[in-house]
């Protein structure tokens, strides 16, 4: 626990940004890990089956081995894991769950299965629609299909109590992260948003039992700490994954204060809990359907407008940084529409393709600084 | 050098397509409802309900075939859609913003209907277009099962949405679906599909009387008008001419040396150029995955909802393994001795698995394939010179194999 706590402390302070799978394999019991891509795989089911769920994240977008195996114009969120598999960084996993949420994940799941026929491979058919009336029965059956697949793999049944225990463990984790989230958004907090997002990513990649104990210790440790910072323009990070502390540091240095996000390694990961008092599969389905709008799913213009109005207003957001991974069709399709919605609310938008190392740091810094000046009324 | 031998019936297409679009505009003026739908929509339903189906994908093809891509896409790119998104989508979004259309414009839609069974891009593209026109979007959400054995919850989910669609269309049009009329439309549709199957299947003959390029030219009616008399009559004429060509051993090209497979979408704005290029190497492209879906399926007139459910779940979902199996079957049926895979810059759905498919097919057949890097509509993503060089090298490889078996 002490080691994990010091790791968390280091991540929070920005001293340790290299929490990557290849260097941390000892954290996972060999042969017992079910990896998965993001978003929205119900990890609780994997956990209840006796496996350790591990989201495969890769902030390193330098692809060399995978280039001959996948088209160059594929999203880094799927190319990264494939590169890691080819360079043997994922040799220790027992299986892979891939959520079907877009063309990239759908097509990639086929290639993955073709390359790794010896693994437990499961494509989770997440529905495009999020209207509970038409989707809920299907999604219950679909989450049960994952449960049954894992039961066959482990050779033992997942009973409701066991699944509820996993849900409780994950709820506890989400609760800790929500407390840290409140701290990260406060102007006088010792927790920076950059440190916070790095910490979320770190906890996502650790067994929850270990993470929860350290998070409790960390919250206790920083409970009374304060820090004085200058008042800065409040921005919302809109995107999918942002695990680059280099970028987040640039945001802070440009005079911008992140107060909220909708990222996979941000609020999408922890805002909603699953009920511990109803059928556990139904609880996980309800959690999924209660999540915020996301471009890979189908939400109406009105649903988006309501969401943006509420969320931006709640946080006093002055500007939005629209971060899309290179070659992300859903986010590219949504950009003109969402920018229009935000502009109609008087909120300026800066769009950035977050693709280190191929983008110019200097250019990104300049754009962030110009955006910050604009928000301050200087431009 | 080999040369082409054109099919006369294809000259009817120009008038037929013009009549389709002008007829759609007239029908809309007369008060008929108009739906913008994707190419795997249950067309028979619209004809049975007097709803005019318009296919934005087909409209984009006309834009691209007339080499208007950059002119039209500029309007969508100007408002923030980046080049590299599906160029069909960018063309249609560009049309909605500019009104530029090679077919004289489309009638205003009353609704949009699409499905993610074909690709997820369609749902985003139709979302944005339905926003523009402020009309409802109906999505048939299809679990991606890759055509694997049935999962009852998937069938239930798709079937229930089809029933919702019928109710939605009844409310929109203000009249109940006449199931007897639907049966009659399905009878026409099934007949037309059978003709299409025979037409594309005729390419198994040596020489192939019809090339894949001819299929690309002539597929608009099977997509948009199956279930209509006009489509039936057109394909009857086309098949009659092809049967004569088979009897006369008249090939799509003279001196057919190579019989190729084409994977993925066509290069709509380069059809003539690419055909000429391949013909100059003695290559006839005789088979493709792209025109097959409309040849494979027959609807059950007594239970069309179950048939459409099967279509959505199985026939429009090209999983890697299914594609490989299909290519191997086509290789045998069409006596293929070469494979071209179009790595289509703006179609991730079709392109992602191509390197792996090429590898497996090569392992199984022993015949190398060629990955042609291009785009189905946007000429900025490739150069003709690069393709010419790549194709030349590929035929050298095939030539050396035939010299040294």
Using a CB-CB distance cutoff of 8 angstroms, which residues of chain A are in contact with residue B352? 70-71, 74, 103-104, 107-108, 110-111
CA atoms within 13 A on the CB side of A244: 22
Predicted pLDDT of residue A324: 86
pLDDT tens, residue order, chain B (405 aa): 455 678 999 999 999 999 999 999 999 999 999 999 999 999 999 999 999 999 999 999 999 999 999 999 999 999 999 999 999 999 999 999 999 999 999 999 999 999 999 899 999 999 999 999 999 999 999 998 876 667 999 999 999 999 999 999 999 999 999 999 999 999 999 999 999 999 999 999 999 999 999 999 999 999 999 999 999 999 999 999 999 999 999 999 999 999 999 999 999 999 999 999 999 999 999 999 999 999 988 999 999 999 999 999 987 778 899 899 999 999 999 999 999 999 999 999 999 999 999 999 999 999 999 999 999 999 999 999 999 999 999 999 999 987 765
Burial class, A379, CB count within 10 angstroms (exposed 0-12 / middle 13-18 / buried 19+)? exposed
* Domain B8-175: assigned CATH number: 3.40.50.11890
Tokens linked to B71? 């002119």
- For residue B93, give the chain A residue with the closest CA: A333
Q: Which of A106, A296, A333 sits opposite B144 (nearest CB)?
A: A106
In three-state secondary structure terms, A102 is coil
3-state secondary structure of A59: coil
Query: Can you give the pLDDT at residue A262?
Result: 96
Q: Among all residues of chain A, which has the CA nearest to that of B345?
A: A73
Helix axes B229-247, B179-201, angle to 10 degrees: 20
Which residues of chain B are within 8 Å of residue A335 when distances are taken between CB atoms?
A: 80-81
Of B75 and A249, the one with more pLDDT: B75
Q: Does B141 touch chain A (CB under 8 A)?
A: yes
Farthest-apart Cα atoms in chain B, separation:
69
Min Cα separation A325/chain B (Å): 13
Cα–Cα nearest to B342, from B366, B371, B320, B314: B371
Residue A172, CA distances (Å) to A16, A62, A208, A212, A272 in order: 24, 36, 9, 7, 11
Distance of residue A209 Cα from the nearest chain B Cα, in angstroms = 34
Contact A103 B80 (CB under 8 A): no
B143 to chain A, closest Cα gap in Å: 5
Nearest to A128 among B116, B319, B345 (CB): B116
Closest CA–CA distance from residue A197 to any residue of chain B (Å): 28
Whether A241 contacts A325, CB under 8 Å: yes
Q: Which of B125, B134, B119, B114 is nearest to B37 (CA)?
A: B114
Residue-wise burial string across B256-282, b where 16 or more C-beta atoms lie within 10 A, e elsewhere:
bbbbbbbbbbbbbbbbeebbebbbbbb
Structure tokens at B353: 């698995």
What pLDDT, on the 0 to 100 scale, is given for residue A222?
A: 85
Residue with structure tokens 């001419």? B241
Using the CB atoms, write b or e for A93-116: b if 16+ within 10 Å.
bbbbbbbbbbbbbbbbbbbbbbee
What are the boundaries of each domain within chain B? Answer: 8-175
| Best mutation target, A67, A71, A104, A342, to test chain B (most B CBs within 10 A) | A71
**C-alpha to C-alpha distance for A290 and A271, rounded to whole angstroms:** 10
Residue with tokens 């299965």: A113
Q: How many CB pairs under 8 A join A and B?
A: 132
**Whose structure tokens read 């493709």?**
B288
Q: For residue A228, what pLDDT is reported?
A: 72
Q: In what order do the strands lie in the sheet with B34-37?
A: B52-54, B34-37, B111-115, B137-140
Contacts of B321 in chain A (CB under 8 A): 110, 114
Q: B321 — contact with chain A (CB < 8 Å)?
A: yes
For residue B124, give the nearest of A142, A330, A351 by CB distance.
Answer: A330
Extended strands (E) in B111-213: 111-115, 137-140
pTM of the model: 0.94
Neighbours of B49 (CB within 10 A): 22
Helices (H), B256-383: 271-280, 293-296, 304-310, 320-333, 348-351, 354-365
Please check whether residue B264 touches A, CB under 8 A. Answer: no
Residue B111 bridge partners (DSSP): B35
- Contact in structure between B193 and B226 (CB atoms under 8 Å): yes
Distance in angstroms (rounded) separating the CA atoms of residues B270 and B69: 12
* Domains observed in chain A: 19-150 (3.40.50.11890)
The predicted structure's pLDDT at residue A98: 97
Q: Residues 6 or more apart from B173 whose CB is under 8 A from it?
A: B33, B49, B50, B51
Closest approach of chain B CAs to the CA of A144, in angstroms?
A: 11
Contacts of B61 (CB under 8 A, 6+ apart): B88, B220, B268
Residue with tokens 């010179």: B385
Asked if B355 has any chain A CB less than 8 Å from its own CB, the reply is: yes
Task: Find the closest chain B residue to A70 by CA distance.
Answer: B352
Instruction: Give per-residue pLDDT as tens, A27-68.
Output: 666 679 999 999 999 999 999 999 999 999 866 666 777 778
Residue A125, both tokens: 């058919």
Please report the DSSP string for B102-131 in residue order.
TTS--PPPSEEEEETTT-SHHHHHHHHHHH
C-beta of residue A124 within 8 angstroms of C-beta of residue A26: no
Which of B80, B146, B152 has its CB closest to that of A339?
Answer: B80
Tell whether B140 is within 8 A of chain A (Cβ). no
What the block records as the tokens of B225 is 């008008």
Task: Assess B325–A contact: CB distance below 8 Å, yes or no.
Answer: no
């Amino acid at each position: 626990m002490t080691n994990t706590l010091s790791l968390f402390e280091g991540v929070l302070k920005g001293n340790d940004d290299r929490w990557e799978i290849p260097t941390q394999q000892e954290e996972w019991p060999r042969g017992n890990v079910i990896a998965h891509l993001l978003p929205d795989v119900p990890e609780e089911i994997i956990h209840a089956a006796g496996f350790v769920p591990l989201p495969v994240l890769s902030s390193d977008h330098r692809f060399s081995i995978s280039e001959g195996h996948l088209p160059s114009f594929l999203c880094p969120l799927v190319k990264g894991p494939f590169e890691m598999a080819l360079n043997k960084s994922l040799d220790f996993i027992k299986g892979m769950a891939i959520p079907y949420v877009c063309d990239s994940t759908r097509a990639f799941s086929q290639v993955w299965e073709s390359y790794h026929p010896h693994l437990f491979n499961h494509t989770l058919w997440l529905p495009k629609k999020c209207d509970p009336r038409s989707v809920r029965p299907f999604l219950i059956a679909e989450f049960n299909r994952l449960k049954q697949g894992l039961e066959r793999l482990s050779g033992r049944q997942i009973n409701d109590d066991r699944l509820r225990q996993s849900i409780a463990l994950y709820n506890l984790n989400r609760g800790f992260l929500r407390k840290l989230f409140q701290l990260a958004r406060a102007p006088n907090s010792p927790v920076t948003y950059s440190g916070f997002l790095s910490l979320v990513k770190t906890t996502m990649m650790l067994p929850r039992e270990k993470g929860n104990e350290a998070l409790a210790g960390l919250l206790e440790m920083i409970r009374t700490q304060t820090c004085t910072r200058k008042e800065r323009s409040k921005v919302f990070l809109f995107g999918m994954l942002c695990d680059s502390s280099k970028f987040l540091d640039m945001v802070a240095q440009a005079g911008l204060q992140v107060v909220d996000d909708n990222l996979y390694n941000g609020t999408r990961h922890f805002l909603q809990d699953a009920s511990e008092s109803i059928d556990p599969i139904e609880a996980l389905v309800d959690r999924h359907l209660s999540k915020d709008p996301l471009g890979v799913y189908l939400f109406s213009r009105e649903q988006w407008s309501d969401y943006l109005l509420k969320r931006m207003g709640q946080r006093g957001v002055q500007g939005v940084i629209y971060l899309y991974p290179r070659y992300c069709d859903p986010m590219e399709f949504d950009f003109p529409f969402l920018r229009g919605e935000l502009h109609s609310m008087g909120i300026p938008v800066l769009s950035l393709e977050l693709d280190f190392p191929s983008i110019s740091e200097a250019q990104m810094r300049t754009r962030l600084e110009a955006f910050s000046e604009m928000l301050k009324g200087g431009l | 050098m080999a040369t082409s031998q054109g099919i006369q019936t294809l000259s009817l297409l120009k008038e037929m397509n013009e009549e389709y679009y002008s007829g759609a505009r007239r029908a809309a003026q007369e008060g008929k409802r108009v739906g913008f739908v994707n190419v795997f929509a249950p067309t028979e339903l619209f004809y049975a309900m007097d709803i005019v189906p318009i296919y934005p994908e087909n409209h984009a093809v006309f834009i691209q075939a007339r080499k208007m891509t950059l002119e039209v896409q500029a309007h969508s790119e100007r408002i923030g859609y980046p080049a590299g998104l599906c160029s069909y989508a960018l063309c249609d979004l560009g049309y909605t913003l500019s009104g530029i259309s090679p077919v004289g414009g489309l009638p205003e839609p009353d609704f949009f209907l699409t499905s993610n069974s074909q690709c997820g891009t369609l749902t985003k593209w139709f979302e944005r277009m339905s926003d523009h026109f402020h009309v409802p979007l109906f999505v048939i959400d299809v679990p991606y099962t890759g055509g694997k054995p049935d999962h009852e919850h998937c069938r239930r989910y798709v079937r229930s949405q089809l029933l919702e669609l019928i109710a939605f269309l009844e409310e929109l049009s203000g009249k109940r679906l006449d199931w007897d009329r639907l049966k009659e439309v399905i009878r026409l549709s099934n007949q037309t599909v059978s003709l299409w199957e025979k037409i594309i299947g005729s390419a198994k003959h040596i020489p192939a009387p019809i090339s894949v390029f001819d299929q690309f030219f002539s597929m608009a009616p099977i997509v948009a008008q199956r279930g209509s008399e006009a489509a039936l009559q057109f394909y009857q004429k086309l098949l009659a001419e092809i049967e004569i060509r088979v009897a006369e051993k008249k090939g799509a090209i003279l001196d057919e040396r190579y019989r190729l497979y084409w994977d993925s979408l066509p290069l709509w704005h380069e059809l003539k150029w690419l055909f000429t290029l391949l013909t100059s190497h003695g290559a006839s492209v005789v088979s493709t995955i792209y025109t097959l879906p409309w040849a494979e399926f027959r609807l059950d007139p007594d239970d069309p909802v179950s048939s459409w459910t099967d279509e959505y779940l199985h026939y429009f979902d090209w999983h890697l393994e299914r594609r490989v199996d299909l290519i191997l079957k086509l290789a045998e049926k069409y006596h293929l001795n070469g494979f071209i895979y179009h790595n289509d810059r703006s179609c991730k759905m079709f392109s992602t698995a191509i390197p792996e498919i090429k590898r497996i097919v090569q392992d199984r057949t022993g015949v190398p394939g060629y990955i042609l890097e291009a785009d189905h509509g946007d000429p900025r993503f490739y150069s003709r010179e690069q393709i010419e060089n790549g194709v030349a090298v590929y035929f050298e490889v095939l030539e050396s194999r035939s010299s040294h078996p």
